[in-house]
Amino acid sequence: MPAVSKGDGMRGLAVFISDIRNCKSKEAEIKRINKELANIRSKFKGDKALDGYSKKKYVCKLLFIFLLGHDIDFGHMEAVNLLSSNKYTEKQIGYLFISVLVNSNSELIRLINNAIKNDLSSRNPTFMCLALHCIANVGSREMAEAFAGEIPRILVAGDTMDSVKQSAALCLLRLYKTCPDLVLMGEWTSRVVHLLNDQHMGVVTAAISLITCLSQKNPDEFKTCVSLAVSRLSRIVSSASTDLQDYTYYFVPAPWLSCKLLRLLQCYPPPEDGAVKGRLVECLETILNKAQEPPKSKKVQHSNAKNAILFEAIALIIHYDSEPNLLVRACNQLGQFLQHRETNLRYLALESMCTLASSEFSHEAVKTHIETVINALKTERDVSVRQRAADLLYAMCDRSNAKQIVAEMLSYLETADYSIREEMVLKVAILAEKYAVDYSWYVDTILNLIRIAGDYVSEEVWYRVIQIVINRDDVQGYAAKTVFEALQAPACHENMVKVGGYILGEFGNLIAGDPRSSPLVQFNLLHSKFHLCSVPTRALLLSAYIKFINLFPETKSTIQEVLRCDSQIRNSDVELQQRAVEYLKLSSIASTDVLATVLEEMPPFPERESSILAKLKKKKGPGAVSVNELEDGKREGGELNGGGERADSSAMAASNASTPSPSADLLGLRPAPAVGSAPPSAGSLLVDVFSEGSAAPSAGVNDDGFLSSAPPPPAAAAAVSEEPAPPLPEAEDLLNKFVCKNNGVLFENQLLQIGIKSEYRQNLGRMYLFYGNKTSVQFVSFSTTVSCPDELPTQLNLQTKTVEPLIEGGAQVQQVVNIECLTDFVDAPLLNIKFRYGGALQNLTLKLPVTINKFFQPTEMLSQEFFQRWKQLSQPQQEAQKIFKAGHGIDTEVVKAKLLGLGTALLENVDPNPENFVCAGVIQTKAQQVGCLLRLEPNAQAQMYRLTLRSSKDTVSKRLCELLSEQF
């Protein structure tokens, strides 16, 4: 409540509020409020004049009731009246009510705007401030429209009071944030920038928020602010703490302004002007120096203010990334904070260091703190700080310290918080891969990882280790041995079994020489895990077994026994059963040579960017510092992946990682979708392994690829331009299909089915288009356009609603097309469909089956009448005739059905020859009605038809004749 002077205290309001507070129950409160509302209503009744004081009091009560959560539907007028009062408190309450309660579409908005305008043009600074506050609080588009032009003038006017300037700057900022298009700085730009030089610190502080926001949108226009900001900053930094009086906060001169200045500078690259730059560097150095000074006060506010400036300065240093000296100093300063007892400081220090680690100048300096960071990871109590420590470790890792860091992270993983485990696992996996010098270390690390945190090891991680083992001959033996040993643990994670199964299946022969790991021992070890595993793992193990048969013929009988047993061959899971049956047959029928060919060792995988990276990126979301850093770090990451191909795939990786991959498709049995450029889901999990849309499925790590190198499905050529494709060649045929019927399937291919349902009445029609996604993958950016070529727009009026841009797999969306026939037409409108299926743009164009006959209105008439009209339409251009061969044989019933489908009335007993068909109808268009008469004379012997059409308009006759002749 507003501060009240004596005699102005609203006693009634106080009593009311205390009444409400004393209410025992909600019901009592509602009763009290109802009573009060009735009282206020009787007071606000038109015939009584209220003084300002009571008006204010009642408006206050209404406001209070509204804030309690009740609807208020009156009193707005009174509140607006208060605006014109000359008393501050009354005006204030009026503005308060309006900013809380009046919505933008109210009729009162004009009155309110008027009152605000009056206040803005008044010379009273408090009134001006109130008006500005109200504009900012409402902050609607309407407000922006009304006042966006006025406020900059107030802001830069020479005679405006400082406090008003502050309000104006902040108000403008608010309006700019709601509708940037309405706030045009243009001519004011330079004068606003010069506010940075204003005498009054408050004005500068308010203005700098505005300038920062504006310069983020259009940095070039505000370039001049850099030098001004630097000089302002240097003035503040170099001033003694007592110089600024009111703006000194616990011995720190203008901390808010300094922070904002530093933040503004972060919008721009380092100043090119040497003098400015020198001055800025000097400032930054001073700030760093000041951090070293002993604190002037023990109060926490003092250190908070100081540190706020310091962190902002460090952020600027990191942003410039050009002053090695400053970077190292910043790093050292942060190093001190790492052991500070303030948790927030430690957090901030770790976070800033993360970005510092990416700079080449300070990377080494950051590395010196490795022990402290590791210690933080181990001992820190707050999980968010531990998370930052893990991020920093990841960022500061390079070849020299990789082993240490990975070891530390692994040991931390055992006790790590559940929320960050998966991320930690990914980071360990990436670091191990990136900085691996010898591969046995890498294999050890990953296996350890699976052992420690198996649940958090995603598919990508173990795919990756298998890829690397397969691509590197030198580690295969070691890997097989290690895996074998790891599997000997009484309980091992399923992921470990997967890796073990795969590697032993491929390279089990490398360790078979040792009697302790003879083929049978290997097999028994794997099979002992079999029953504890889930279906996909079992499937993989079955594949490993068949590979065993190839590798070690001596195990053949044992394995066949296993495959033959009921739990495999009659497994309730189709996948397992099928594998068991097929492998059993394969092993018993195929000769050794065939077997050796089929079950040959996997070819090396093509080298690509590690998919784990993509996964990590997805997890952290865009913009995470350590990820960006990783991009830079790639220059060092070449040794394992052999360089190549990794440059630009990050974006694609992200999009592909999100496509759902269907379950493994055994030996390519399921029909792979044939359209689209190698759909990423084409029966292979490896899309997730490699991060490129066009990855060849044959290189998959999944057990498809493991067993056979299925060729990629033939990619049907699809136009990949953004332009609408030309209509399909079959579009015309599709059109003809619909001349005599209104519903059906317009188009169908492997991806998409388009169904049509339409209805017509007089010259209006409505068509429902159903787009069905036949695949299991969603279509994205699905869009359709209906266009009318050439002169059609003048003849036909089409209206459509846009469809959802996303069609889930198996789903169907509907689109309605409203059609109005203005006058007769020939061409059909075009329907263009564009969507992305697994990254590939699909683009096709069809003709919408809207033909002139759809607007037929059947007309019944007698024989006499018919021939009378027939004769009336005897001018040569009114008649169209065609003699053509029957396409499908002459069947009276079919012909009748088709003629009825055309929309005309079929007239019986009109033509003297009963074989002939006679029809009549009126085509309804907006401009006119065209009567049509039709005569179809079949000749059964010659299998020919003679079609005669007469109508009052020659184009109609011609078009109908064309359309109809295709039908029989």
Q: Site for another protein (CB under 8 A): which residue of 15, 74, 339, 940?
A: 74
Check residue 738 for interaction with another protein (CB under 8 A): no
Confirm or reject binding of residue 21 to another protein (CB under 8 A). Answer: no
Cβ distance to another protein smaller for residue 17 or 780: 17
Instruction: Assess contact for 405 and 388: CB atoms under 8 A.
Output: no
- Please give the sequence-ordered ranges of beta strands (E in DSSP) within 788-839, or none if there are none: 796-800, 812-821, 830-837
Among 7, 21, 51, 73, binds another protein (CB under 8 A): 73
d(CA 750, CA 744): 17
| Site track 903-942 with another protein (rule: CB under 8 A), x = hit | ----------------------------------------
Q: Which of 22, 34, 419, 567 touches another protein by CB under 8 A?
A: 34
Encoded one letter per residue, x for contact with another protein by CB under 8 A and - for no contact, window 479-498 reads: --------------------
| Token pair listed for 119 | 């206040």
When the beta carbons of 41 and 670 are compared against another protein, the nearer one is 41
Q: How far is the CB of 70 from another protein (least distance, A)?
A: 11
- Per the listing, tokens 């002939």 go with 916
Alpha-carbon gap, residue 175 to 139, rounded angstroms: 6
d(CA 465, CA 479): 10
Residue 95's CB is within 10 A of a number of other CB atoms, namely 25
If the CB atoms of residues 29 and 645 are measured against another protein, the closer one turns out to be 29
Q: Which residues of 710-728 are buried (b: 16+ CB within 10 A; e: fewer)?
A: bebbebeebeeeeebbebe
* Beta strands at 248-249 and 812-821: parallel, antiparallel or unpaired: unpaired
Report how far Cα 602 is from the mean position of its chain's Cα atoms: 37
Q: Which of the ranges 23-31, 258-266, 306-314, 864-872 carries the binding residues for another protein, by CB under 8 A?
A: 23-31
Size of the site for another protein (CB under 8 A): 22
Task: Annotate 316-375 with three-state secondary structure.
Answer: HHHHHCCCHHHHHHHHHHHHHHCCCCCHHHHHHHHHHHHHHCCCCCCHHHHHCCHHHHHH
Instruction: Give the C-alpha distances (Å, rounded to integers) separating 805 from 755, 834, 837, 839, 842.
Output: 18, 10, 12, 14, 13
Collect all residues with Cβ–Cβ distance below 8 Å to 945 and sequence separation of at least 6: 883, 884, 885, 886, 890, 936, 937, 938, 939, 965, 968
Report the alpha-carbon distance of residue 813 to residue 811 in Å, rounded.
7
Of 25 and 721, CB closest to another protein = 25
Q: What is the closest distance, in whole angstroms, from the C-beta atom of residue 25 to another protein in the complex?
A: 5
Report how far residue 733's alpha carbon sits from residue 748's, in angstroms, rounded to the nearest whole number. 13
> Treating both helix axes as pointing N-terminal to C-terminal, what angle do 370-379 and 402-413 enclose, rounded to 10 degrees?
10
Helices 535-551 + 574-589 axis angle, to 10: 10
Task: Look at residues 289, 276, 201, 286 and name the one whose alpha carbon lies nearest to residue 245.
Answer: 201
70 binds another protein (CB under 8 A): no
Site membership for another protein, residue 61 (CB under 8 A): no
Rounded to whole angstroms, the Cα distance separating 413 from 395 reads 17
Rank residues 45 and 531 by Cβ distance to another protein and give the closer one. Answer: 45
Q: Which of 54, 84, 99, 106 binds another protein (CB under 8 A)?
A: 106
Q: Which residue matches tokens 């990855």?
A: 695
User: Which of 2, 19, 20, 32 is in the footprint of another protein by CB under 8 A?
Assistant: 32
CB of 117 to another protein, least distance (A): 22
Q: Which residue in 38, 184, 275, 862 binds another protein (CB under 8 A)?
A: 38
Residue type, 875: Q
Q: How far is the CB of 119 from another protein (least distance, A)?
A: 23
Instruction: Please name the amino acid found at residue 557.
Output: S
Residue 18 beta carbon to another protein: minimum distance, rounded to whole angstroms: 17
Q: Least distance (Å) from another protein to the CB of residue 173?
A: 32
Can you tell me which of 1, 9, 14, 31 binds another protein, judged by CB under 8 A?
31
Binders of another protein in range 107-126 (CB under 8 A): 107-108
Distance in Å, CB of 62 to another protein, minimum: 12
Q: Is 41 in the site for another protein (CB under 8 A)?
A: yes
Q: Is 199 in the site for another protein (CB under 8 A)?
A: no
Q: Check residue 220 for interaction with another protein (CB under 8 A).
A: no
Tokens 């590690």: give the residue.
Answer: 610
Interacting stretch for another protein, rule CB under 8 A, among 106-114, 245-253, 394-402, 617-625? Answer: 106-114
Segment interacting with another protein (CB under 8 A) among 24-32, 217-225, 448-456, 786-794: 24-32
The stretch near another protein (CB under 8 A) out of 40-48, 351-359, 522-530, 711-719 is 40-48
Q: Site for another protein (CB under 8 A): which residue of 16, 44, 58, 779?
A: 44
For residue 224 the two structure tokens come to 């001049």
Is 896 a binding residue for another protein by CB under 8 A? The answer is no
25 binds another protein (CB under 8 A): yes
Q: Binding of another protein at residue 411 (CB under 8 A)?
A: no
Minimum CB–partner distance for residue 139 and another protein (Å) = 22
Q: Site residues (CB under 8 A) for another protein?
A: 24-26, 31-32, 34-35, 37-39, 41-42, 44-46, 69, 73-74, 76, 106-108
